[in-house]
Amino acid sequence: MAVHAHPDDESSKGAATMAKYVSEGVDVLVATCTGGERGSVLNPKLQGDPYIEENIHEVRAREMDLAREILGVKQAWLGFVDSGLPEGDPLPPLPEGCFGLQDVDEAAGALVKLIREFKPQVITTYDENGGYPHPDHIMTHKISMVAFEAAGDPERYPEAGEPWTPLKLYYNQGFNKARTLALHEALEARCLESPYAEWLKRWDEFARPDRNISTHVPCADFFEIRDKALLAHATQIDPDGGWFRVPMDLQREVWPTEDYELAKSRVDVSLPEDDLFAGVREA
């Protein structure tokens, strides 16, 4: 089970890993916390379209359907309302009723119910910083941590179904500095423009601590599926943007994995790993 904040997050974080496991017969479910109702239209070609702007929730749901089919995964909505990304100094308050303002324990109940229904052995989510400090990403982390601990406890959320104990919990860490730097240097070595130059200059400004990346899943054969799924979210992705400026052969050669941080495990593990199910298969 991959727990994500918005439709499109599943295609930009861990999508090749999911497609790899689907190809091996693994049952994969994406849990999408919000409908992306307050997301902006980021594709310049679609900006200003009144239908999209007035029906963004419906449009993004259709995009999610297409991405789900491309990846071969199942997908479920948790039903929370997008908080939007507050901007300004000082930051404005979050909108009333949004996901970011929910009581964590109460909101986690919806995820506990889904875990007990789907019965995942492995769950992926975001770290305590949300990957980046969007209120919905941070709340996704919070409810994932509560749900991972509570799903197997019959005394918690008794209305959410029969208990199920997931075995491992991972944080997505695809946007780590080592990967970004490796791709940047490889592009420069080929005399190609790097979309990461400005990111690296400002990396320290983001105040992102180095993470303990424990798990590198080889999935280069599925990078094209990942990109196709990402492009399915047409309102959110500029097909001419930085996401797609790194040649595929370079990506596969320089960094052929998607990367994770093992946060919790109920099975014995030996780090580093190359499989999210390491220890689970043996158990």
Per-residue CA distances from 216 to 27, 58, 198 (Å): 20, 35, 25
Helices first, then strands: H and E counts in the chain: 10, 7
Q: Are 29 and 14 in contact (CB under 8 A)?
A: no
Residue 6 annotated as lining a ligand binding site: yes
Q: Are 108 and 150 in contact (CB under 8 A)?
A: yes
Token look-up 């070595």 returns 189
Of the candidates 218, 234, 112, which has an alpha carbon nearest to the alpha carbon of residue 164? 112
Of the candidates 97, 175, 99, 174, which has an alpha carbon nearest to the alpha carbon of residue 142? 99
R_g of the chain computed on alpha carbons: 19
Token duo for residue 61: 């749901």
Residue 65 annotated as lining a ligand binding site: no
Residue 9 annotated as lining a ligand binding site: yes
Q: Are 143 and 178 in contact (CB under 8 A)?
A: no
Of the candidates 216, 141, 146, 150, which has an alpha carbon nearest to the alpha carbon of residue 171? 141
CA dihedral sign, ordered 45, 50, 53, 55: negative
Binding residues for Zn(2+): 6, 9, 137
Binding residues: 6, 9, 137
